[in-house]
Structure 1
Amino acid sequence: MCKGLATLPATCLKSAKDIKHKISFLLQKPEPHAADQKQIKGKTANAAAAAKRVPTAAEVQKWKESFSHVMSNETGRSIFTNFLKSEFSKENIDFWVACENYKKSPPSKCATRAKQVYQQYVEADAPNEVNLDAATREETRQNVEKACPCCFGEAQKMIYTLMEKDSYRRFLNSKLIKDLCQEQKTAAEEKKNCDCAENRQAVTDGA
């Protein structure tokens, strides 16, 4: 085998490792609040796997198309969560996730869980209070007394809209996303160069 061809895989591997190292900070799994730990315990393995996986260019493109694509993708949510953390507004997505988890609570635990979510995020001066208007806050308080599956519906919708209209726009223009796009472009170029070099070497060896 040609010496040049033998060194190609190592060169490509080094480039891939460098790129993965540079964007690893984007994929750190956020720590959940204590009130949410039980609800996400069963999803820890999947979330960890998503947090370690480098998103594809197609995924990032989808995130740029709509906020719903970010929220429906576990890796996208992980990266967006870290962005919110940098803006000191991580409570918004934590509340949204808590609401999603609450909807899946068994009926026997709805009352307790509803109270926990309300005290953690909704009531005035809550540890992780989200930005709700007085009417929605009061409506949610009354709904919690009934502990129905949709008792956080309006509040969750309001926070989702807030993230979509405010944080999401800054997210798309953030250095975090720009760096990710640049690293993916570099990775694609490195792969193309490696493939071209291998093809040229294969032609040379076959001559």
Structure 2
Amino acid sequence: MCKGLYLPSSCLEKAKGMRVKLSHLAEIHHKQKVQNGKILQDLETLLGSKIGLQAFRGFLRSEFSEENLEFWLACEDYRVSPSTMQKTKASSIYNQFINPDAPLEVNLDAETREALLSVMDSPCANTFNLAQQRIYSLMAKDSFPRFLRSHHCAEAIKAY
């Protein structure tokens, strides 16, 4: 500091106050940056984020594999549905995603398909758990790593 420079104490106090505020803002910015990075850390966190989910959906659509996400979301909705709606929703999910002629057929092994078919007459809250878990695993191991390298991911990070 210059020896010949004299600043009134009010200026010094303002400068100290500004320094405290700036360091606080920098800390908040760093925390937000860390949290935003975590949004893309794993698939579960991504699916819980509105912006992340939209970006992932756009990516899957560009790869013609959006049915996996749509199935997973339908299963989430089904799981929290009232028991009076389960049979109707189960039938809809089966016809839309599981049936070999389904318009959005997901890639499930024959054993899982057969297990689902055998319980479709009396579905319960966890009817689709195994199938949903398999599709989640497929997305986590296959689609999600490619998503992380995509422009969809980069745009999602910018949106935060």
- Interval of TM-score (by shorter of Structure 1 and Structure 2): 0.7 to 0.9
- 1:67-94 per-position Cα deviation (integer Å, ceiling 9, x unaligned): 2110121221111111101110000010
* Residue 58 of structure 1: how far off its partner (Å): 4.0
CA RMSD of aligned residues (A): 1.9
The answer as to 2:43 corresponding to 1:81 is no
The 8 Å contact of residues 143 and 152 in structure 1, kept in 2 or not, is answered as no
Kindly report which structure 2 residues correspond to 1:156-171, keeping only aligned pairs within 5 A, or say none.
156-171=132-147
Tell me the amino acid that sits aligned with residue 138 of structure 1: E
* Residue 98 of structure 1: how far off its partner (Å): 0.3
Q: What SS class does the counterpart of residue 121 from structure 1 fall into?
A: helix
Match of 1:142 in 2: 118
> 1:176 pairs with 135, 140, 152, which one?
152
Please give the alpha-carbon distance, in whole angstroms, between the structure 1 residues aligned to 2:98 and 2:156: 34
Measured at CA, do residues 101 and 180 of structure 1 come closer, stay the same or move farther in structure 2, by a change above 3 Å? closer
Match of 2:70 in 1: 94
Please give the alpha-carbon distance, in whole angstroms, between the structure 1 residues aligned to 2:64 and 2:73: 17
Measured at CA, do residues 180 and 78 of structure 1 come closer, stay the same or move farther in structure 2, by a change above 3 Å? closer
Measured at CA, do residues 91 and 59 of structure 1 come closer, stay the same or move farther in structure 2, by a change above 3 Å? farther
The 8 Å contact of residues 64 and 172 in structure 1, kept in 2 or not, is answered as yes
More helix by share: 1
Match of 1:114 in 2: 90
Match of 2:80 in 1: 104
Give the TM-score taking structure 2 as reference length.
0.74
Match of 1:123 in 2: 99
The 8 Å contact of residues 72 and 132 in structure 2, kept in 1 or not, is answered as yes
Please give the alpha-carbon distance, in whole angstroms, between the structure 1 residues aligned to 2:56 and 2:36: 12
Structure 1 or 2, whichever has the larger Rg, is 2
Which sections of structure 1, spanning at least 5 residues, go unmatched? 1-55, 188-207
Which sections of structure 2, spanning at least 5 residues, go unmatched? 1-31
